[in-house]
Amino acid sequence: MDADIISNLALGFSTAVSPINLFYCFIGVLVGTLIGVLPGIGPVAAVAMLLPLTFNLDAVGAIIMLSGIYYGTQYGGSTTAILVNLPGESASVVTCMDGYAMARQGRAGPALAIAAIGSFFAGTVGTILVALLGPPLAEIALKFGAPEYFSLMVMALIAAAVLAHGSMLKTICMIVLGLLVGIVGTDVNSGMSRFTFGASGLADGLSFVVVAMGLFGFAEILCNLQDKADTASRDILNQKITGLMPTAADMKAAFGAIVRGTAVGAFFGTLPGGGPTISAFSAYAVEKKLAKDPSRFGKGAIEGVAAPESANNAAVQCAFITTLTLGIPHGATMALLLGALTIQGIAPGPQVMTQRPDLFWGLIASMWIGNAMLVILNLPLVGLWIKLLKVPYRFLFPAIMVFMAIGVYSVNNLDLDIYMTILFGVLGYIFIKLKCEPAPLILAFVLGPLMEENLRRALLISRGDPTVFITRPISAAFLVATALLLAFMIVPSFRKKREEAVADSEAL
Amino acid sequence: MQTKYKMKTLVAGLVAAAVLAAPMTTMAQNYPTKPIRLIVAFPAGGSTDIIARLVAQRLGEKLGQQVIVDNRGGAGGTIGTEIAARAAPDGHTLTMGTTSTHVIAPAAYAKVNYDPVKDFDPITLVASTPYLLVLHPGVKANNLKEFIALAKSQPGKLNYASAGTGSTTQLAMEMLNRAAGIDVVHVPYNGNGPAGAATLGGQVQALFGSMPAVLPHAQAGRLRAIAVGTAQRSPALPNVPTVAESGFPGFEVSLWLGFFAPKGTPKPILTRLQKELTDIASNPEMKAQFEKNGASAVTNTPAEMNTLMKTELEKYGKVVKAAGISLK
Amino acid sequence: MKIKNQEDFWAGLMFVGFGALAIWLSTDYPMGTASRMGPGYFPTYLGAIMLILGAIVAMTSLKLGNGEKITPFAWKPMIMLSLGFMIFGWGVDHIGFIPALFALCVITAAAGQTFKIVEVLVMSVVLIAGAVGIFIYGIDLPFPLFWWR
C-alpha cells in the first residue's frame, strides 16, 4: 500500500514537473490570480471566463492549468475579500469579517500573507490526505443521503449564529431572512417558481454573486461615501500600513488556527454541496469558541483570517477528489472543471484512476505544486496589492463599481442580475444602518435551499416518517451536536460573556 | 401600347425586385460579414455547451469568421432560447436547441415566450445523447423484466431519481411507468450529478440518466445498466438491450441537439449552414469527440427537424399531462 | 412611549415586514402537510418565525437601549450608484459595452464628494481601455462594443 502511494506519487510528480506542465501550472496560477483579484469577479466567474484558454491543450496540461486557475482565482477572491470587502464566493464571506477589519487597521499585508501561508499549509496536508485516503474519503460522500444533509445544514445554520458579534436575536432574524432569500427560484421538489414575480431571470434563484456584491460591495461603497469629506473614507482605507508580513506574534497566534482550520476543512470537504462554505465558518466558530477573548473576532483577529482560509483550501483539495472520482461536482466551479474534463474526452468517474493514472496522480501532484506556486507568486505581490489601497478612494470606488458590474453581468449576461444587485446593495446599506450583520444571511442563503430540498426529499423517500432523522446514525450525530451547540448558547454564563462582548463592541 | 406598358411595368418590377433583393443576395454571398453569435441556453461547461463549443470552433474555421459561444443559461434553457428567437434573422445569431428547449420546456412550462416551431428556422441536428436506465447494484433485478416485476410486487415502494422536475430524466421514467403500468416514485434532485450520487449511494433505486453522466459508473460496475432508451443499442454498451426490445416497442427517449436560426433567416444562409454543419458532424474526428462525450453524431434536414419537433411535442405533451407536471 | 433603541426598533419592523411579505406571497403556493410538504410550507413557517422574532426585537427596543440613533442616509450616492448600475445593465445590450461603461464611470464618480471633469474623463478612458483589453480581447466575453455592434 505504502509502496503504491510512493510509486503513484512518483508518477504524479514526474508528470507534473515536466517543464511544459510546470509552465501551464504557472500560467494558470498567474492568470487566475490576476483575474480573480479584480473586485467583483469571484472564482466561478473567473474560471468560466478562463475555461476556453485550456480547450486546445492536451488533457493533462488542461487539468493542471485549470487547477492552477482555480487556486489562483480562489486566492484572488480572498484578496478582494480582505482588501475591499468583496467576497468572491461563499467561503470567503467569513474571511471578509476579520480580513477587511485588519485591512482597515492598516494590517492588510499580514492578513494577505497569513491567508497565503494558511492556504499553502492546508493545501499540503490536503494533498497528502488525498493521496493516502482519497478514494475511501470519496465514498463517505455517498453515505450522505437526504436526512444526513438536512441535519448537517441545521447544525451549520445554528453554528452560523456564533459568527455574529451583535444581538443574537437579530442574527437569527438575518439567518431566517437568508433562508427566505434562498427560496427565490424554482422549487426543486415541485418545479414551482417561488418569489420570482414572474421574472424568468429569477427562475434559477438569485446567484451568490448578485447577493454578495450587493450586500458587501455595493453597500460598503455607499457606507464609505456617506462620510462627508472624501478624506474621512480615505483615512479608513489608508491607515498607516504597519508591516507587510506577519510578525512572530501573528504567526504564533495563527499557527494553531491554521492547523485546526485544516482539520475542519478536511472533515467537511468531501461533502458535496456547501463543503468549503461549512468548513470555513465552522473553523471560524471553533476559533471564536477557543479564544480567550472572543470579542476580538470581527475586529481584526488574525485567527479569524487564518482558520477559514486554511479550512476552505483543505476542503477544496478534498472536493477535487470527489469531483474526479465520482463525477459529482461540489458546486458551480467544480461543475465547470468537470465540463472542461469532458471536453478533453475524459469521463470523470471511478475509472479515471485506473485508466489514466498519469492524469489522476499528475493532478494530485500539481495540486501541491499549484499551492506552492501560489505562495511564491503571491507573497511578493502582497506589496503590490497594498499599494492599490493607496489609490485615492475617489478613483478606487468607480473602478470597483466597474469591475463589479462586469462581474455580475458576465455570470448570465442578464440585465436583471444588475438590477437585483442594486436592490441588495440598498438593502445591505440599510442593514449596516440598523446594525444587522449580512454574513449570517449570506450563509443561510447558500445553505437554505439545500436544507429545504433535503428535508422534503428525506420525508418523500421515507414516505412521511420523520424518525429517519434520528434512526440514521450520521444524521442523529449531527442533531445531537446541534443540541449541544444550542445548549451552549442558552447556558446563562455563556450568554453573559456574550453580553459583555456586545457591550464592548458598543463602547467602541 | 398596352403590351409596351405591361412590359415597362414588368421591367420596373424586376429592377425593383433586383434592387431590393440585392442586399439580401450580396448579404448571403458575403455571409458571414462579422463574428457569429451562437447562443447556448445553458451554462458553460454543461453537456450542451461542450457539444456547442466543439462544433463552434469547426464552424468558425469553415466560415472564416469566429463563432462566439454566448452562454445565456437559466430557467431550463428558456431564457437563452427566447433571446435567440428575438434576434435579427441575418444568420449572425444562431442557437443550439435541444429536446429540453424546443420540446419539453414548451410542453411543461405554463408560460414560454417563444414557439419552438413558428419562431425558428431549424438547420440540422448535430448530435443525440441516449438515456440509460440504471439501478443501484443492491436492487434485486438483473434486467428490465425483473425490475418491472419487482416494482409490481411492491407498488409505490421503489424510488427513482431525476435531474429535476420536468427534466428529460423524469419524463423518460414516467413514460416507462405508464408503459409498464408500474409506480416508481419520483424523487427530484438538482441536476444529473446529485441524481447520480443518490443512485450510487443507494438513496434511490433507479435512475434513467443521461449517458455521459451514468456510463462511467455502469462500466465500473457501481451501477447496473438494464436498458437504453434509444431505438438501437449503444455501441458503448452492446450487451445492454433497448427498452423497446425488452417488450415496449416504440419506446424511445433521447436528447437531441441541433442548430436553429431565428425565423426569417435568408434561405441561402440556411442552406450554407446546413451544408457546413452536416460536414462537421460527419467528420470522423468530430464523431469520435462526440462519442467521448457520450453523444453520437446525427444530421438531418430542416423538414425532418420540424416533423421531429411536432411528434415529440405531442409525445412528451401526453406524458407531461399524465404525470401532472406543470412548471410555473 | 419612547423608543430606547432606534436601530433595533426599525430592524424589528423591517423583519416583521419581510415576514408578513413572505407569508402573503406564500399563500399562492400549496402548503401540503408536514409529512408531504408542498412548496408553500417552508416559506410560510419561515415568514411566521421571522414575524414573531421581528416583533420581539421591536418591542425590546422600546425598553432596552442606550438611545442608539440611526445616522442619516446618504441619498445622493445611493441614487447615483444605482442609476449608474441601471444604465450599465440596460446599456450593454442596447448601446454597447463601451458607452455603457462610460456612463457607469461618470455617474458613479459623480456620487463622490470631489468631481473634477478632466480627472473623471481620464479615469473613465483608463478603466474602459483596461476593461475592454481584459474582457473583450483577453477572454472573449461576447458583449457588443457599440450600438452598431
- Residue boundaries of the structural domains of chain C: 6-63, 75-138
Q: List the single residue in C with minimal CA-CA distance to A35.
A: C134
**Which residues in chain B (251-280) have CB-CB distances under 8 A to chain A?**
none
Residue contact C82–A226, C-beta within 8 A? no
Output A328 or B241, whichever has higher pLDDT: B241
Instruction: Count how many domains chain B has.
Output: 2
* Residue A331 contacts B, CB cutoff 8 Å: no
Output B314 or B46, whichever has higher pLDDT: B314
B129: pLDDT confidence band, cut at 50, 70 and 90? confident
Instruction: Indicate whether A444 pLDDT > 50.
Output: yes
CA–CA dist B289, A232 (Å, integer):
59
Q: What is the pTM of this model?
A: 0.80
Q: Looking at the partner chain, which of B215, B289, B325 has a beta carbon nearest the beta carbon of A191?
A: B325
Q: List the single residue in C with minimal CA-CA distance to A166.
A: C8
Is residue B328 domain-resident? no
B-chain residues within 8 Å CB-CB of A186?
Answer: 75, 327
* Residue B68 contacts C, CB cutoff 8 Å: yes
What average pLDDT is seen over chain C? 88
Q: Given this model, what pLDDT does residue A168 score?
A: 80
Residue contact C89–A401, C-beta within 8 A? no
Q: List the single residue in B with minimal CA-CA distance to C139.
A: B68
Residue contact C74–A226, C-beta within 8 A? yes
B270 and B221 assigned to the same domain = no
Q: List the single residue in C with minimal CA-CA distance to B69.
A: C142
Q: List the single residue in B with minimal CA-CA distance to C149.
A: B34
Domain of residue B69, residue span: 34-128+256-323
Q: Looking at the partner chain, which of B44, B185, B201 has a beta carbon nearest the beta carbon of A51?
A: B44
Domain boundary among B189, B223, B246: B246
* Residue A464 contacts B, CB cutoff 8 Å: no
Q: List the single residue in B with minimal CA-CA distance to C136.
A: B68
Chains adjacent to B (≥3 CB pairs closer than 8 angstroms): A, C
Which grid cell is B51?
457539444
Instruction: Indicate whether C50 pLDDT > 90.
Output: yes
Is residue B299 domain-resident? yes
Amino acid at B105: A
Q: Given this model, what pLDDT does residue A499 score?
A: 57
Q: Given this model, what pLDDT does residue A352 score?
A: 72
Is residue B6 domain-resident? no
| Burial group, residue C137, by CB count within 10 angstroms (0-12, 13-18, 19+) | exposed
Q: Looking at the partner chain, which of A415, A452, A506 has a beta carbon nearest the beta carbon of C90?
A: A415
Most confident range (mean pLDDT) of A436-450, C90-104, C107-121 is C90-104
Q: What percent of chain A has pLDDT over 90?
A: 12
B44 and B71 assigned to the same domain = yes
Nearest CA-CA distance, residue C85 and chain A, Å: 7
* Residue B64 contacts A, CB cutoff 8 Å: no
C-chain residues within 8 Å CB-CB of A421?
Answer: 85
CA–CA dist A43, A35 (Å, integer):
9
Of A84, A37, A92, A81, give the one whose Cα is nearest residue A316.
Answer: A92
Domain boundary among B246, B264, B280: B246
Q: Given this model, what pLDDT does residue B15 score?
A: 55
B180 and B241 assigned to the same domain = yes
pLDDT tens-digit profile of B147-177? 999 999 988 889 999 888 888 888 899 989 9
Q: Given this model, what pLDDT does residue A173 score?
A: 92
B98 and B184 assigned to the same domain = no
Of A119, A165, A152, give the one whose Cα is nearest residue A296.
Answer: A165
B262 and B121 assigned to the same domain = yes
B207 φ, ψ (degrees, to nearest 5): -155, 130
Residue contact B72–A413, C-beta within 8 A? yes
Residue with cell 501560489: A374
Which grid cell is C112?
463622490
Q: Given this model, what pLDDT does residue A492 score?
A: 47
Report the complex ipTM: 0.93
B294 and B210 assigned to the same domain = no
Q: What is the CA radius of gyration of chain B?
A: 23
Instruction: Indicate whether A200 pLDDT > 80.
Output: no
> Which DSSP category does C36 fall into?
S
Nearest CA-CA distance, residue A450 and chain C, Å: 12
B-chain residues within 8 Å CB-CB of A415?
Answer: none
Which of C81, C94, C119 best tests the A interface by mutation, with the highest count of A CBs <10 A? Answer: C81
Q: Which of A158-162, A212-216, B237-241, C46-50 has the lowest mean pLDDT?
A: A158-162
Is residue B2 domain-resident? no
Is residue B302 domain-resident? yes
pLDDT tens-digit profile of B178-234? 888 899 999 988 777 788 888 988 899 999 988 877 888 888 888 999 999 888 888
CA–CA dist B174, B253 (Å, integer):
11
**Which residues in chain A (163-182) have CB-CB distances under 8 A to chain B?**
none
CATH number at residue B282: 3.40.190.150
Which grid cell is A238?
489608508
For residue C27, the Cα-to-chain-centroid distance in whole angstroms is 26
Residue contact A412–B74, C-beta within 8 A? yes
**Which residues in chain B (87-146) have CB-CB distances under 8 A to chain A?**
108, 113
Residue contact C141–A460, C-beta within 8 A? no
CA–CA dist C48, C36 (Å, integer):
20
- Pairs of residues, one from chain A and one from chain B, whose beta carbons lie less than 8 Å apart: 146
Instruction: Indicate whether C128 pLDDT > 50.
Output: yes
B171 and B307 assigned to the same domain = no
Q: Given this model, what pLDDT does residue A231 score?
A: 44
What average pLDDT is seen over chain A? 81
Domain range list for chain A: 2-392+399-507
